[in-house]
A and B are shown apart, each in its own frame.
Chain A
Amino acid sequence: MNSSQLLGITTLAYLLSAILYIAIFVFRAKKLGLFATLITACAFLINTIGIGLRWHESYQMGIGYAPLSNMYESLVFFAWAITLFYLVLELRYKNRVLGAFSMPFAFLSMAYASFSPEFGKEIKPLIPALQSNWLIAHVITCFVGYAAFAVASGMGVMYLLKDRKTNGAPGTLLASLPELKVIDDIIHKTLVFGFLWLSAGIITGAVWANAAWGTYWSWDPKETWSLITWFVYAATLHARFTKGWGGRRIAWLAIIGFISVVFTYYGVNFLLSGLHSYGAR
């Protein structure tokens, strides 16, 4: 058993998990609930072991490093973080319908990592710029934040769906979604959590850049886009805290914010050039 097999199984398990949660939502198949949670927990465990084994394998190859150094590895970690975040959410809110709007992100991330021909999956040695302990701190903080933002955007979609028919009569599809007030609360809390981690991610990146290049900020496209994302969420939180925005507007902002995250994470690597080109390979 090697790490790529385990991560392959993880992809399938996340697919199954996403399908189960969507089935719970669409067919109101509540009986599947426990099964869905178990599958997700197992998938998460396999994902964890897969990352750990890849780490171990890199040491066996004599080039040991934390598997967080390129697009493939970051997507795998992204899926891991989304799933962890979702499981905590499910535990806290005791509502499995949330999974239908969260787990597809984890699956898409793993699937893109596994099936995209664009980037290599093999364990490659680290170039000198990446040989730093800040790699671990920077990638983990960023992706925990990104995972929260992914889930927040899923909740935003859920809010907008539910809000189309506010008076969803009992027994209809949308009635099984949590109340608007509750979704709004989840979105808000998730955004706040993500914002703290995004800030930490930008800061760890700046400290690392200063240790490697002597400049903590150089307006590199990646840095700039992370700041743009930070501005978007900062504006969102201010609109909420001081202008009392909520509901549809915050739901939309959660979606727009995540588009900015995706561009920071993915778009910059492939569409713009800059210092931070490690992620593209």
Chain B
Amino acid sequence: MKKTENMVWRFFASVKLALFSLLILATTSVIGTLIPQKNPPEFYIEAFGPRTAQFFRLLDVPDMYNSWWFISLLLLFSINLIVCTIDRLPNVWQMVVMNNLDTPPDRLEKMPNRHVFHARGDVESIAKIAKGILAKSGWKTQGENNPAGSLLFSQKKAWSRLGVYAVHLSILVIFAGAIIGSLLGFKAGVMLPEGGVTDTVYETGTGKPIPLGFTLQCEGFNVSFYADGTTPKEFRSTLKVIDSSAKELPPAKDIIVNDPLSYKGITFYQSSYEPMQGFNISIVNKATKVRQNFQVPFGEKIHWPGTGIDFGIINQQVRSRMGDVDKLKVWFSDGQGEPSIFWMDNNAKQTISSPAAAYEFQAHQVYATGLQVAKDPGVWTVYVGCILMLTGLYVAFFLSHRRVWVYIVREEATDRCRVLVCGVSSKNKIAFENEFSALVECFTHDSTFQNA
């Protein structure tokens, strides 16, 4: 029993499994980039034939990244990470906190970087000088005297050995954030016409209605274009939250792509828009300053009650296939003289003069703004994981645990001491070799120490 347990443990702690899961995740991930994801079943029958489509459905290929087998692979990967960390961390931790003054002399003699000096004087005073030299190069020493002599030890960045475990942990933190998001959050969307309100959004994929718990109003939408007339420059929606339960409401906010609105953990992103068949018209009588707003459909004659004014949009010129109106043709009459017929730009003002009065005529095509709505309480956990990952990678790759010892022993039958300077680095050996040589150089410059 013990033996099987041990074998299972070794299997989950093995680097082989880590390599296997990394490569199998890489290979299987390719499938979902070649076969379009999350399309309706008919798409796959059409594109691949009924038999293949059936096979795909069996293996959840149309939504493979959420399939049982892909999630299982991620789970296997996580278990591997956890087990291997539990397996190795205690030893590494030991390396971080260990008392290096216990290092036996024969180990010191075998260090990859070593240099032997001779020095005259007693052990204690030589140790003091050596301490000073080490301190000058930034090595803070601990010392211990034993019957044979004196041992000095110093280390830098022992904690850097933990960097790789920070990276492993960061992956688990990111997964945790993703799980929090998928359990407690949602992704949804809604189309909201200008002036319209909604207290419900619709889940992406399923279309399931999700109550917001407050009301959102779209006060206005505007799309602007660059000088070329076809490249959109900005989509801007003015959104307002209406919430009877709140003491203080946020002011209306203009959202654009890359600058969303958040309220009570739910964020509204500008995602698309739809031009609608209709116009907001405002007419001002310039003499009396009387203003009237209308919502008018295309191609209908509208009467301003109490006046002799009739008008209508009789033609329009669209900018794109979506139906953005660029220019519109207006028919306008106040019953005096000839009716005015003219083209004007969408969103522009036009002055109309008749024998009786002058009017300012403004037209704006009605739009619906397309909002993406997300609630993801896990996102900050994911970001913490990301920062931990980058920090961990930096520590794991670029910082190293460096240790140096100076071992001073009185040589028998002479009046001098043997001084062994040695050191080792957990990585970046070549850089440490240089650092070590520089340290040895410092010893050489001190007259106490003679090369052996």
Residues 70-108 of B at the A interface (beta carbon under 8 Å): none
Given contacts A125-B233, A238-B15, contact A224 B33 (CB under 8 A): yes
Contact of A185 with B by CB under 8 A: yes
Contact B258 A219, beta carbon cutoff 8 Å: no
Q: Within 8 Å CB of A241, what residues of B?
A: 164
Instruction: Kindly state whether residue B302 has any CB partner on chain A within 8 Å.
Output: no
Chain B contacts to A: CB under 8 angstroms: 15, 18-19, 22-23, 25-26, 29-30, 32-34, 36-37, 65, 164, 178, 187, 226, 228, 231-235, 256-260, 267, 269-271, 372-374, 376, 379, 382-383, 386, 389-390, 393-394, 397, 430
For residue A125, which residues in chain B have a CB less than 8 angstroms away from its CB?
A: 226, 228, 231, 233
**Interchain CA distance A128-B258 in the complex, whole Å:** 8
- Chain A: which residue is nearest B394 at the CB level? A196
Q: How far is the CB of A267 from chain B (nearest CB, A)?
A: 10
Which residues from A are CB-within-8-Å of B430? 185
Least CB distance from A99 to B in Å reads 22
In whole angstroms, how far apart are the Cα atoms of A238 and B80 in the complex? Answer: 13
Measured CA separation A185–B235 after assembly (Å)? 51
Q: List the 7 closest pairs (A to B, CB-CB), nearest first.
A: A214-B374, A231-B26, A128-B257, A235-B22, A221-B33, A132-B258, A125-B226
**Quick check: is A129 within 8 A (CB to CB) of the other chain?**
yes
With A228-B26, A235-B23 already in contact, the answer to whether A268 and B18 are too (CB < 8 A) is no
Residue A195 is within 8 A (CB to CB) of chain B in the complex? yes
Taking CB atoms, residues of chain B closer than 8 Å to A195 are: 393, 397
Whether B257 pairs with A228 at a CB distance below 8 angstroms is no
Given contacts A128-B233, A192-B397, A214-B269, contact A207 B383 (CB under 8 A): yes
Q: How far is the CA of A243 from the CA of B18 in the complex (A)?
A: 11
Cβ-neighbour of B29 out of A63, A193, A210, A224 (below 8 A): A224
- A196 and B26 form a contact (CB under 8 A): no
Distance in Å: Cβ of A144 to nearest Cβ of chain B? 14
A112 proximal to B (CB < 8 A): no
Q: How far is the CB of B208 from chain A (nearest CB, A)?
A: 17
Give the distance in Å from the alpha carbon of A207 to the alpha carbon of B390 in the complex.
14
Which bracket fits the contact residues of A?
A: 35 or more
Chain A residues lying within 8 Å of B235, measured Cβ to Cβ, are 128
Q: List the B side residues contacting A88 at CB < 8 Å.
A: none
Q: Name the residue of chain A whose CB is nearest to the CB of B382.
A: A216
Q: Which of A209-226 contact B (CB under 8 A)?
A: 210-217, 219, 221, 224-225
Beta-carbon nearest neighbor of B371 in chain A: A214
B172 vs chain A, min Cβ distance (A):
15
